[in-house]
Structure 1
Amino acid sequence: MTVRIIHVFTSLDFGGVETHALTIARNAHFSKNEIYFCALGSGGAVSEELEKIGFPVYCLNCSSKIPDIKSIYKLLGLLVRIRAKVIHCHGSEANFHGLISAWLCRVPVRIGEEIGVPRHSRLARLVFKMVYLFSHRVIGISDAVKDWLVESSEVPARKAVRIYNPVDLSFTQSLSSDGQEDGFFKIGYVGRLEEVKNPLALIRAVDLLKERNVPVKLFVVGDGSQMMSCMSLCSELSLSDEVELVGYSNNPGSYVSQCDIYVQPSLSEGFGIALVEAMGCGVPVLATKVGGAPEIIDHGKTGWLIDKSDPVSLFDALYQIWSQRENLPKIGECAKESVRGRFEPGNYIVALDNLYNSLAKNGSVNG
């Protein structure tokens, strides 16, 4: 039985959540269902790519700020028009507007997905507790996210499920790690340049490594609201030779694969796709012990976990790793082996279809 599914995102421009839409599209052959995509806000690089692949994409161009009546109204009209039988919302804004709209027009299967551990106020927790009443299930992309949803009382335990994010590692087949050949201690970072991702602390840690005469090179791949702050800090600390601010790249693996270590210094994190991608390249990882990182990294075997990600804590960990850098190739191989097949996109698509089908049996997706 073919079911029409619509995946709702806040935007479809660029970023980890948006790229998730591309992963779904590129692996849709694992599903027999009909897939649509929708952005509450604007489209962009991802929506254009989705259309090139051949998927229907709708960009509502609404603010998506909670609450936005226009978003609910326009999404309600779209759901009625395309007659979706399953709605799958990704992220807080999409969950709020999508689940309300889907309940109003009686979409038979309504799925929310939380992509991180939100910093909700008491009022926000109450609001989302009410919103999730309109859902049949809420997916947490890691055990840490799912447990938070339950412990915060936003989602009843019977509704919360964990399905890991899919990570496409096919690009790593053409890459190899060669970080230590030129004598530099090469560090990689990929992600949005936002406060929660903590890139400034990593740059300051590089400055501390430089002070200890470590021949360090940091590649910062990504863009965001803190790009200018990163540029200013590099100038202030005279790190033009040690830090390369790459900006957005559609091939971050080409930078990560040449590194000795990949660092995720986040203050909060839901899963950590970039961590898995780095490990898939055979690169050891260092990450703050937040979100899904402890579920991905086997401390001391495939990488390292730290409790804090202030500059000094990052420096201490990186200096110790550099001091024992002869062990990095072996740890990188262990990292690569540990993620092989574990987060396959095909398995993710099958898990989603199984969830949709199990819920559909309790409803009437043909009605």
Structure 2
Amino acid sequence: MEFLFGVFCPAMSVDQNTEANLVAHISTSLNFGGVEKHMEILARSTRYSGCEHCFFAIGSGGLTATRIEALSKRVTCLGQSTKIPNIMAVWTLFRVLSHMKPHVVHTHGAEANFHGLIAAWLAGVPIRIGEEVGIPSHSAKGRWVFRMVYRLAHRVIGISEAVTGWLVDNDEVPADKAVRIYNPVDLTYSIKAIPGEVPGQFRLGFVGRLEPVKNPVVLLEAVAKLRSASIPAEVWLVGDGSQREMLAALAKQLQIEQYVSFLGYQENPAQYISQCDLYVQPSISEGFGLALVEVMACEVPVLATAVGGAPEIIEHGRTGWLLEEPSMEELVVMLKQAWKDRTQLAALGKAGRDAIITRFEPRIYMRELETLYGSILKSVQER
């Protein structure tokens, strides 16, 4: 281990010459979360790449940093605040990139895009890629700021058509600079071990942060409504977040605490979700829906709000169900229908797995990335 510019970092070599095949990925942190999971899958996918890939966290490291290091990848955690704007974060990244001289900088997420693209431009990195991981909730001022920042990028990736469309429609990214590339997904999960319903229960599963945007409150309210209608519903919540204590109190208030299991963060959520009759994702907003695809890989039927990438992943009635409104009332209607048609759940789960198994493979993702990098390099060289 060594200290780099006064912050704690894993040991790494610094090359004074431009590394023509080096891609530097910048995210806000490398602990745990959706973007962090994406970084880990990306690191595992580099076996399909002709480039060397290294990973930066503007803020802290943690679980994901350790896992990526175990894959013999270079990891650097800068320990800087990710709040926009942080001049020290830009300055520290600039110094690191100026010494390392990667050929590509690929930033992931709003805070990483802001600080990383500015630093990469200042450092003269030849290829600069931003990636938006969700549909932003920017104010008019925020849209103007990111419009300026994205001028420094050669391309901006949206992880779904919904995200890319928002960026273009809101004038943050010109249409000729926006590109959609779906996230890669680990599709090695086992097929559901328990076919059909769990005897005596209608077990619902949820994976994600226990935060307002994921809307877990309506899921608990729906369970209470189902039980009052003599439907034996229960729910397993895999994940943690700021609403954990409030949800536990709500379960007690609704008198369903014995039917709600808080499983916390799990390294392998598939071992729990594969035992559920139906996976429910009642999100208010989503970017792509990584958990959704991972669940479908388990051959578990899914019900998700038609936001973000969900309509691009699910064909309603064939590979899963889409919920038009993330309200408790609409959710209860759909769940009652699923309970009524539960003998068809196994077939729906199989159709879902068959539909996604070849769409989100890491090999495909890496090929699309390197094609993008190559096209930008060609256009830069031709100028």
TM-score normalised by the chain length of structure 1:
0.97
Cα offset, 1:4, TM superposition: 0.6
1:232 maps to which of 232, 235, 249? 249
Say which of 27, 52, 59 aligns to 2:45.
Answer: 27
1:249 pairs with 2:266: yes
Task: Give the distance between the partners of 2:287 and 2:194, measured in 1 at CA.
Answer: 27
Map residues 255-334 of structure 1 onto 2, 5 A cutoff. Answer: 255-334=272-351
Residue 8 of structure 2: aligned partner:
none
- 1:14-93 counterparts in 2 under 5 A? 14-93=32-111
Give me the whole-angstrom Cα distance separating, in 1, the residues matched to 2:245 and 2:313: 31
Which digits, 9 at most, give the CA deviation of each residue in 1:3-40, with x for residues without a partner? 11100001100011101111011111100111110001
Gapped runs of 5+ residues in structure 2? 1-18
Counterpart secondary structure, 1:36: strand
Whether 1:101 aligns to 2:119 is yes
Asked if 1:156 is matched to 2:174, the reply is yes
Q: What is the alpha-carbon root mean square deviation over aligned residues? A: 1.4
The one-letter code of the counterpart of 1:326 is: T
Asked if the contact 1:219–1:246 (Cα under 8 Å) also holds between the matched residues in 2, the reply is yes
Aligned to 2:190: 172
**Amino acid corresponding to residue 40 of structure 1 in structure 2:** I
Q: 1:115 aligns with which of 114, 120, 133?
A: 133
CA separation of 1:178 and 1:71: change in aligned 2, threshold 3 A: same
Residue 168 of structure 1 aligns with an amino acid whose one-letter code is D
- Residue in structure 1 matching 2:205, options 176, 179, 188: 188
Deviations 1:273-317 (A, max 9, x none): 111111111111111110110000000111111111111211111
Alpha-carbon offset, residue 130 of structure 1:
0.4
Separation in structure 1 between the aligned mates of residue 247 and residue 198 of structure 2, nearest angstrom:
28
Which residue does the alignment assign to 2:3? Answer: none
Tell me the amino acid that sits aligned with residue 249 of structure 1. Q
Task: Decide whether the 8 Å contact of 1:179 with 1:258 is kept in 2.
Answer: no
Instruction: Tell me, yes or no, if structure 1 residue 125 matches structure 2 residue 125.
Output: no
CA distance in 2, matches of 1:257, 1:225: 26
State the 1:64 CA deviation: 0.7
Residue type at the aligned position of 1:284: P
Q: By how many angstroms is 1:179 displaced?
A: 5.1
Partner Cα distance (1:105, 1:51) in 2: 25
Supply the AA of the counterpart residue of 1:50.
Answer: I
Q: Deviations over 1:196-250 (max 9, x none)?
A: 0111111111111111111112010001111111111112222222110100000
Residues 111 and 139, structure 1, Cα contact 8 Å, conserved in 2:
yes
Residue from 153, 158, 171 that aligns with 1:140: 158
**Displacement after TM superposition at 1:2 (Å):** 5.5
Segments of 4+ moved more than 6 angstroms: none
Deviation at 1:362, TM superposition (A): 2.5
What secondary structure, in the 3-state scheme, does the structure 1 residue paired with 2:338 have?
A: helix
Q: Deviations over 1:312-354 (max 9, x none)?
A: 2111111111111111111111111111111001110111011
Structure 1: tracts of 5 or more residues without a match: none
**Are 1:201 and 2:218 matched, yes or no?**
yes
Distance 2:289 2:337 in 1: 23
Shift of 1:41: 0.5
> Which residue is equivalent to 1:338?
355
Larger mean CA deviation between 127-136 and 52-61 belongs to: 52-61
Instruction: Point out the more displaced range, 263-272 or 180-189.
Output: 180-189
- 1:177 Cα deviation after fit: 3.9
Relative to the length of structure 2, the TM-score reads: 0.93
Of all paired residues, the percent bearing the same amino acid is 49
> Bigger shift: 235-244 or 49-58?
235-244
SS of the aligned residue for 1:85 comes to: strand
Assess if the C-alpha contact under 8 Å between 2:160 and 2:182 holds in 1. Answer: yes
Which residue identity does 2:53 align to in structure 1?
Answer: I
* Number of equivalent positions: 364
